[in-house]
Amino acid sequence: MDWFSLLPVTWQHHYLQQKLVDNALADYLQTPLPDPQQSLADTEFLVLDFETTGLNPQRDEILSAGYILIKHERVILAQARHHVCRIRGQVPAASAAIHQISDSQMQQGMDLEALLALLLAQLKGRVLIAHHAQIEQQFLNAACRQCYGHSLPMRIIDTLKLEQKRLQHQQKTWKAAQLRLFNLRQHYGLPRYHAHHALEDAIATAELFLAQVNQNHAAGKQKIKYFLY
């Protein structure tokens, strides 16, 4: 994590807004970050999932991105999208086995800067949601530093962290496996799904978030500050 990412997100946003021009990050910064005092019902969320060649954003790359919008506490399936991203070299065999993305599919995908510009356009004015959001946050920041020279100020909700907070509040112990997306969906009575596809994981995370809100909070009345990562 770079030092800039340790600063308050509002300070990051203001500083970069004054500094950057004529790129997708500068355009993203023209829209204010969502106010933590907003209610859930008044906030739009972009639920994002990456499939990557590994877990280290310093050396690994984004293979695909899937995202979907939550608006008025509803999943907007019509706005679900999936994009494959070109990487340097070939798709590692281990990644291909897990994500089912071949070299030929990858070569027909978007370049990183085009994908990033698209994601920033979708994210502006919205809160990012991801499961184990550290992965998406780190890869987004690494991509922004590579393309624009700066990390990305954003509001984030992590469905895994929300579950940890719930269990801590109830003074319950847990195992790491309980917090996996598949197992949490089962806990909340959500249907099975096919893992390791970015769009399907994004939809699965969106449904999980709404289930967490509906079962553990007063839906529509909570401020987003209680959910932020």
| E-assigned strand segments in 115-219 | 127-130, 156-158
The model's pTM is 0.95
Give how many domains the chain has, as a whole number: 1
In a domain, 71, yes or no: yes
In a domain, 24, yes or no: yes
In a domain, 229, yes or no: no
In a domain, 101, yes or no: yes
Q: What is the pLDDT along the chain (229 residues), one digit of tens a residue?
A: 567 777 899 999 999 999 998 999 999 999 999 999 999 999 999 999 999 999 999 999 999 999 999 999 999 999 999 999 999 888 888 888 788 888 999 899 999 999 999 999 999 999 999 999 999 999 999 999 999 999 999 999 999 999 999 999 889 999 999 999 999 999 999 998 888 899 999 999 999 999 999 987 665 568 999 999 8
For the record, the structure tokens of 150 come out as 């700066």
Q: CATH number of the domain that 124 lies in?
A: 3.30.420.10
Of 193, 225, 226, the closest CA to residue 207 belongs to: 193
In a domain, 82, yes or no: yes
In a domain, 214, yes or no: yes
What residue numbers bound the domain in which 45 lies?
3-223
Radius of gyration of the chain (CA): 17
In a domain, 44, yes or no: yes
Distance CA 207, CA 192 (A): 12
In a domain, 195, yes or no: yes
Strands 127-130 and 45-52: parallel
Q: How many CB atoms lie within 10 A of CB 43?
A: 22
Distance CA 143, CA 50 (A): 12
